[in-house]
Amino acid sequence: MVIGGGLAGMEAARTLAERGHEVTLYERNSKLGGQWLMAAYPKGKEDYRTLLPFLTRGLRKAGAKVCLNTDVAASFVLAEKPDAVVIATGALPKSLKMDFPGIKGPVIVQATEVLTKNASVGSKIVVVGGGSTGMEVVVLIARQERQVSLVETHKLGCRLPQGVRAGLLDKLVEKGVFLYPYSTVLRITPTGVDATNEGMFLHLKADTVVLAIGAQPKNELFEALQGKGINIYAIGDCVVARNAMEAISEGAEIGRII
């Protein structure tokens, strides 16, 4: 059993099936792809969309069974009595802690919801988090001629390849985005966001706050199955958030190990 149909789970299931195992891949949503669906959604990333059809064809050709719209619980796994279980349940976007000052101020949405058009924003937006997701959601919003501020604790796009980072920064500057690297969010107020930048106080007006502050591993199923006498393996973002190449590589590796 492979639980989770993101990149790591798809590659693990394909590799296992190609090596002669009887494999069933379970995905809770109606589509395979996990967070790659969001990564490939923005305008200008059409080439990214060729990956999932490629992986899906590989699953079909290898003979792996795929069950969509299936939310797998520990009791279901135990009842099936599989020889091995690969947990690839991915990660969820991080949210502010419930005791964060002013969390009930302006509308707060996740960047992933904005990128996939599952959430709307107002006319003045503060995006918290300047990694790849944060920068991409700012580009999307700025194209709609809205006022956008981007706040990041460290250097903007610090983990991105230099060419990708430079291209995104060019788009942000072109659209007149207010950039605040090396800044810390203090609180959310009824009128916006309070932050500090190298000792200087900032109040950024906003009616919508968009969070792009990273991902939290979704590992409840892995924890529930530990110590139950099953050969269980965890891969991908449910262990720690990583990039697509690392997720696919880990899926292929576990497929060769089992």
Specify whether 115 is located in the same domain as 143: yes
Q: Looking at the structure, do residues 187 and 239 belong to the same domain, yes or no?
A: no
Q: Does 220 lie in the same domain as 183?
A: no
In CATH, what number is assigned to the domain containing residue 170? 3.50.50.60
Residue pair 24/65 in contact by the 8 Å Cβ criterion: yes
Shared domain for 207 and 220, answered yes or no, is: no
Torsion sign over Cα 72, 77, 82, 86:
positive
Q: Are residues 66 and 100 in the same domain?
A: no
Residues 85, 21: one domain?
yes
> Which CATH number do you get for residue 244?
3.40.50.720
Q: Beta strands of 16-171 (E only): which ranges?
A: 24-26, 65-67, 85-87, 91-93, 107-110, 124-128, 147-151
- Please, what are the averages of pLDDT over each run of 10 residues along the chain (258 residues)? 96 97 96 84 75 94 97 96 96 82 81 87 95 91 92 92 91 94 93 92 95 92 94 94 90 95
The pair of structure tokens assigned to 142 is 């700025």
Which pLDDT score is estimated for 22? 97
For residues 73 and 180, membership in a common domain is answered with no
136, 191: one domain? yes
Same domain, 75 and 105: no
Q: Which domain holds residue 38?
A: 2-92+215-257
99 lies in the same domain as 206? yes
| The dihedral sign for the CA sequence 178, 92, 246, 116 | negative
**The predicted structure's pLDDT at residue 38:** 76
**Pair 88, 99 in one domain:** no
| Domain co-membership, 152 together with 241 | no
- Report the pLDDT value the prediction gives residue 10, as an integer from 0 to 100: 97
73-75-76-80 Cα dihedral, nearest 10 degrees: 140
Residue carrying the six token digits 């944060």: 134
If one counts the domains in the chain, the total is: 2
* pLDDT on residue 253: 96
